[in-house]
Amino acid sequence: MITLTETIEVPRSVASCFRYVADFRTTVEWDATALEASKLTPGPIDEGSRFSVRCKAGRGHLDLTYEITELTPWQCLILEGRGRWFTVKDVITFESLADDLTRIHYVAEFTFRTGLQRLAKRLEPGFKKMGRASLKGLARALTDDNPPPEASRDTQKRDGRLTTALTCFTRYGYRRGQNTWRPMTADMTGKHVVLTGANAGLGFATAVSMLEAGAALTVVIRDPAKAVAMQHALKAETGREADHVELADLSLLAEVSALCERLHARGQSIDVLINNAGALFNDYAETAEGIERSAALLLLSPWKLTESLLPLLQDHARAARVINVVSGGMYTQKLRCDELIMTADKYNGSVAYARAKRALTVLTELWAEAWAEHNIAVNSMHPGWADTPGVQTALPGFRRVTKRVLRSPAEGADTIVWLARATEADHVSGKLFLDREPRTTHLRNRTQERPEERARLLDWLAETYSGLNLNDKG
Ligand SMILES: NC(=O)c1ccc[n+]([C@@H]2O[C@H](COP(=O)([O-])OP(=O)(O)OC[C@H]3O[C@@H](n4cnc5c(N)ncnc54)[C@H](OP(=O)(O)O)[C@@H]3O)[C@@H](O)[C@H]2O)c1
């Protein structure tokens, strides 16, 4: 048997240390040998939760299945792992030394299969070294002092060429990004997140992560029938439901205003607002308020929602965050305010979608500048190409061709989650992100907007809004 014993002290509350370690998927963020980890059982982390962990082993890898056999909140975790060569029992104890100081004691006992004792003897020094490195990694992760995000040289180089930039949209781009990510250990307990479009695709994946991170979650969806299924699915996945469900058809500005009134009446300040709801409409249609629906849903709606919720975003001493989900499609378009609402005769769904997303990207930069003094970080992100119900319905041909390289919804949503959760994401505002790195907002010079168009955007939005056929302009 090989026994490793390590103790670390970290400047974090015992509860947040415990929650982070108990979700053993985080092992890839701190264990010196872990390459991949996933949760095999649905539901909240508890006794019986199982994880699959792939570890480096010489030139190859070794797959282990871990199970939590004992979980005493904030005190002790016991995990048993099984692999081809050995079983391992991890006993992890947590001791609160002060509000923000925790001692973690880690004992790992490896029992090798019969006949492998000589191998175990040979491997012992290497195992001990790895154990020390892993616990140092855990201490670093829980210290959570990552530097502010910036684009690596490689990323900047990739963004300089259309083909390499587009490759980053695929699941391979996600894998490449993942190699350099730092641990995301912030606990969102006590933070209030408002998320639109939470019942499907990227929004649902984001909702799962927000609940797992401990956030209080308000979701905005439009269909009461989908609310029931969504809550059921969230509960099955995380053991929690969204704390509040608000119903609103976000393509209708009167409904956006009514939603804001309800949120104001509730009076709960907002730490993170995620403007995610969206759709690509292949056919032209106007909303009941008399405006082309892409412009309404993808641009006027997040503009109105965010501006109206500003008092709730600046209602506390903490920094607040706004995250606008845009699209790589916006790289094809240039901001021209007069072209934001397409007419029926010239309508092209992808173009209308891309123009609205381009405008939302510019709006992100304008808000970031204007709201820096209010301590609100405003960033946009694009998810690359992810296989969601939205893509399946609106772009079946594109999906057929790209199916093998599409990201999962969780991979597409990762940067939304990171912008909402990571401590270092507070230190950057007005940027467009993909895979946790700020990216270029233009892949071609011809899409650079003229300064007059940029300066006009906010007035254009207010004028367009006041021209809508609303019953009650809130
Ligand atoms: N998937 C990708 O590859 C990709 C790429 C670039 C950008 N995006 C952006 O990512 C965001 C999420 O897209 P997704 O791919 O996850 O799409 P999705 O699977 O279709 O999910 C979109 C969500 O938005 C909601 N929504 C749509 N119209 C709404 C309305 N009028 N009022 C309220 N909610 C509405 C949907 O609700 P219902 O279920 O009721 O329709 C759903 O919850 C969108 O902003 C999209 O433009 C996605």
- If one residue of 297, 327, 392 were mutated to test the ligand 1 pocket, choosing by the most ligand atoms within 8 A of its CB, it would be 327
Minimum-distance ligand 1 atom for the alpha carbon of 390: 20
Section 274-288 average pLDDT:
97
Q: Whose CA is nearest to atom 45 of ligand 1?
A: 278
How confident is the model over 432-451, as pLDDT tens digits? 999 999 999 999 999 999 99
Which of the listed residues 169, 196, 202 should we mutate to test ligand 1's pocket, taking the one with most ligand atoms within 8 A of CB?
A: 202
Distance CA 27, CA 35 (A): 9
At 147-180, the pLDDT tens digits run 999 999 999 999 999 999 999 999 999 999 998 9
Q: Is the pLDDT of residue 53 over 80?
A: yes
Q: Cα(388) to centroid of ligand 1, in Å?
A: 8
Mean of pLDDT over the chain: 95
What distance, in Å, lies between the first and last C-alpha atoms of the chain?
70
Q: Check 20, 331, 353, 465 and give the catalytic one.
A: 353
Distance 390 CA to ligand 1 centre (A): 6
Query: Alpha-carbon distance 198 to 367, whole Å?
Result: 24
Residue-level pLDDT at 50: 98
Exposure string of 171-202, with b = 16+ CB inside 10 Å and e = fewer, is bebbebbeeebbbbbbbbeebbbbbbbbbbbb
Cα 83 to averaged position of ligand 1 atoms, centre (Å): 41
367, pLDDT greater than 80: yes
H/E stretch holding 433 reads strand 432-434
Between the CA of 198 and the centroid of ligand 1 the distance, in Å, is: 8
Distance from the CA of 345 to the center of ligand 1, in angstroms? 25
Task: Examine the pLDDT at 24 and tell me if it is beyond 90.
Answer: yes
CA of 201 to the centre of ligand 1 (A): 7
Q: What is the pLDDT of residue 316?
A: 77
Do the beta carbons of residue 417 and residue 210 sit within 8 Å?
Answer: yes
Q: What is the pLDDT of residues 59-108, one digit of tens each?
A: 899 999 999 999 999 999 999 999 998 999 999 999 999 999 999 999 99
∠ CA 47-412-367, nearest 5°, is 115
Q: What is the pLDDT of residues 340-351, one digit of tens each?
A: 999 999 999 999
The pLDDT assigned to 302 comes to 98
Residue matched to tokens 């001692």: 103
- Residue of 280, 301, 388 with the most ligand 1 atoms within 8 Å of its CB, for mutation: 388
**The tokens of 10 are what?**
């970290």
Confidence of residue 472 (pLDDT cuts 50, 70, 90): low
Cα(439)–Cα(156) distance, integer angstroms: 8
Tell me what percent of the residues of the chain surpass a pLDDT of 90: 93
Q: What is the pLDDT of residue 58?
A: 83
Q: Name all domains of the chain by residue range, CATH numbers in brackets.
A: 2-143 (3.30.530.20), 153-466 (3.40.50.720)
CA distance 45 to 39: 9
Specify whether 284 is catalytic.
Answer: no
List all residues whose CB is within 6 A of at least one atom of ligand 1.
Answer: 197, 199-203, 221-223, 226, 249-251, 276-279, 297, 325, 327, 382-383, 385-386, 388-391, 412
Atom index in ligand 1 nearest the CA of residue 199 equals: 43
For 223-255, what is each residue's pLDDT tens digit? 999 999 999 999 999 999 999 999 999 999 999
pTM of the complete model: 0.96
Helices 451-466, 301-313: inter-axial angle, 10-degree rounding: 90
Which atom of ligand 1 is nearest to 394's Cα? Answer: 20
Atom of ligand 1 nearest to the CA of 393: 20
Q: Concatenated DSSP letters for 279-336?
A: ---SS--B-TTSSBHHHIIIIIHHHHHHHHHHHHHTSSSS-EEEEEE--GGGGG----
Stretch 370-384: mean pLDDT, rounded?
A: 96
Tell me the per-residue pLDDT of 452-465, one tens digit each, with 9 for 90 and over.
999 999 999 999 99
Q: Return the pLDDT at 255.
A: 98
* Residue 471 predicted with pLDDT over 70: no
Best of 391, 393, 434, 439 to mutate for ligand 1, by most ligand atoms within 8 A of CB?
Answer: 391
Contacts (Cβ under 8 Å, ≥6 apart) of 340:
295, 299, 355, 356, 359, 460, 464
pLDDT, position 473: 52
Lowest pLDDT segment from 221-235, 253-267, 307-321, 400-414: 307-321
For residue range 37-48, what is the model confidence (pLDDT) as tens digits? 999 999 999 999
Strand partners, 61: 56
Band of pLDDT at residue 318, cut at 50, 70 and 90: confident
**Mean pLDDT, residues 382-404 taken together:** 95
Closest CA to 371 of 329, 311, 326: 311
Protein residue with its CA nearest to atom 8 in ligand 1 = 327
Q: Which tens digit of pLDDT belongs to each residue from 253-268?
A: 999 999 999 999 999 9
Span 116-153, pLDDT tens digits = 888 888 889 989 999 999 999 999 999 999 999 999 99
Bridge partners, 378 (sequence order): 322
Asked if residue 474 has pLDDT above 60, the reply is no
Contact 254, 308 (CB under 8 A): no
Q: How far is the CA of 23 from the centre of ligand 1 (A)?
A: 28
Region for residue 430 given its phi and psi (left: phi exceeds 0; alpha: psi -120 to 50; beta: otherwise): left
CA of 85 to the centre of ligand 1 (A): 46
* Residue with token string 């890898």: 61
Q: Which atom of ligand 1 is nearest to the CA of 353?
A: 47
Nearest of 352, 304, 343, 349 to residue 461 by alpha carbon: 304
- Long-range contacts, stretch 284-288, CB < 8 angstroms, 24+ apart: 284/342, 284/344, 284/347, 287/251, 287/252, 288/252, 288/469
pLDDT at 52 over 90: yes
